[in-house]
A and B are shown apart, each in its own frame.
Chain A
Amino acid sequence: MGRLSTKIVGIITAILIFISLYLVFGYARIEGTMLEVQKIFYYHVSAALTVFVAFGVNCVFSIKYLIQRKSTDDLLAVAAAELGIVFCTIALLSGPIWARYAWNTWWNWEARLTSTLVLWLMYVGYFILRSALEGDKRRLYSAVLGIIAYLDVPIVYYAVDIWHGGLHPDRGTKWNLEATMRQTWMVALLAFTMLFVLLLIVRYRMKKAEARYEIVRQKYLGEASQ
C-alpha cells in the first residue's frame, strides 16, 4: 500500500472518528437506565470487537508463516498482535469505569472479564517469548503461540452463553439496540476498524523498515570485519 493510500485511509479514519463522536454525543438517544454513562458502550464494545479482528489477523498470518515461512507474514502477525493488545487494554480499562457505575464494582471475576484478561496476558506472553528468542526460532515459536492464544477468542465471545450468571448482558443485547444507538455504534465500530487498519499499515511498515535496517547493518558489519 502506497503513501497516498495510507493518507487516504488516515483521512477516512479521522472523518469517521469525528462523525462517530458527533453521533455519540449529538444523535444517539440517551439510554433510560444508565443515562449518559451508557455512552461508554460505543467505544468499549467497538474496542473489544476490534481485538477479535486484530488477533484474528495475527492468527491468519501466523498460520501463513508456518506454511510459507515468509518473514513478512511474521511481521504482519506481530504488528496485528501489538494492536490487539492496545485495543484489549482499552477494553480492559474502560470496562471497569463503566462497571463501577453500572454494577457498583470495578472488577468481578466473571467468565467474560476473566477470559479477556487471560487473552491479554497470553498476547503479552507472546511478546515476552519473542524478546527471549531470535531468528527463525522466534518467528516459529511465536507463530505457534499466536495460533494457540487465538483459541481464547471464541471463549471470550461465548463466555456469557457458556457460563451463565455473569454481569455482562447476553450477546444479542447489542444488536437489539434502539435505532439511533445501533446506527451510532455501527459507525463507532467502523471508525475503530479503520483505525486498526491504519495503525496496522503504519506498524507493519515500521517493522519492515527495522528488519531491513538490521539486514543492511549485519551485511555492513560483515563487510567491515573482512
Chain B
Amino acid sequence: MKIAVLVSFLVVLGVFIFATQVPVTLTADEVAKAIEEASSESEGPVDEDILAQAMQLSVVKLEKAQSTRLKYLAAAYLVIWLVFVLYILNLDRKQQELDKRLAQLEHDSDEDLPF
C-alpha cells in the first residue's frame, strides 16, 4: 500500500515538474491570423505605428490563447491524477481500518484465553 501511495505522490510531483516545461509555441498561421485580426480591429489606414500596435495586440491575443490552452491541459491532468490519488488514499484508509479490526479481533481472542 505504501508503495502505491509513493507512486501516486511521485506522479503528482512529476506532473508539476514537467508541466512547467511546456515550450511556448506560435505557429505561422496563428501569427498571421492574429495580425490579421489585430489589423482589422485597428482604426484608420495601416502605417508603422498602427502595425506595431497591431503586432502588440496580436502577441497579447496569442499569449491569451496559449494561456487558455494550458488551463485546459492543466485541468485535465489535475483531474486524471486527482482521481488516482483519491482512490489510493481511500485504499489506504480501508487498509488501516482492516488492520484495526484485525488488532481488535486478536485482542478479543487473547482476553478469552485462560492464561
Contact = CB atoms under 8 A, between A and B. Distances in A.
Contacts of A198: 3-4, 7
Contacts of B77: 40, 43
Contacts of B108: 220
A24 B6 contact: no
Q: Which of B15, B19, B72, B105 has the most CB of A within 10 A?
A: B72
B7 A17 contact: yes
Interface stretch (A25-33, A156-164, A169-177): A25-33
A202 B69 contact: no
Contacts of B88: 199
B45 interface: no
Contact of A209 (B4, B10, B18, B98): B98
Contacts of A178: none
Contacts of A90: 79-80, 83-84
Interface residues of A, number: 46
A27 B78 CA distance: 21
B76 A30 contact: no
The dominant DSSP class at the B interface is helix
Nearest to A23: B18
Interface string B1-43: 1011011001100110111011101010000000000000000
B102 interface: yes
The DSSP consensus for interface residues of chain A is: helix
A89 interface: yes
Interface in B64-106: 66, 68-70, 72-73, 75-77, 79-80, 83-84, 87-88, 91, 94-95, 98, 101-102, 105
A224 interface: yes
Interface of B: 1, 3-4, 6-7, 10-11, 14-15, 17-19, 21-23, 25, 27, 66, 68-70, 72-73, 75-77, 79-80, 83-84, 87-88, 91, 94-95, 98, 101-102, 105, 108-109, 112
28 contacts: A7-B3, A10-B4, A10-B6, A14-B11, A18-B11, A21-B11, A25-B18, A26-B18, A34-B69, A35-B69, A36-B66, A36-B73, A39-B73, A40-B72, A40-B73, A40-B76, A40-B77, A43-B77, A94-B76, A94-B80, A97-B75, A97-B76, A98-B72, A100-B72, A199-B4, A206-B94, A209-B98, A220-B109
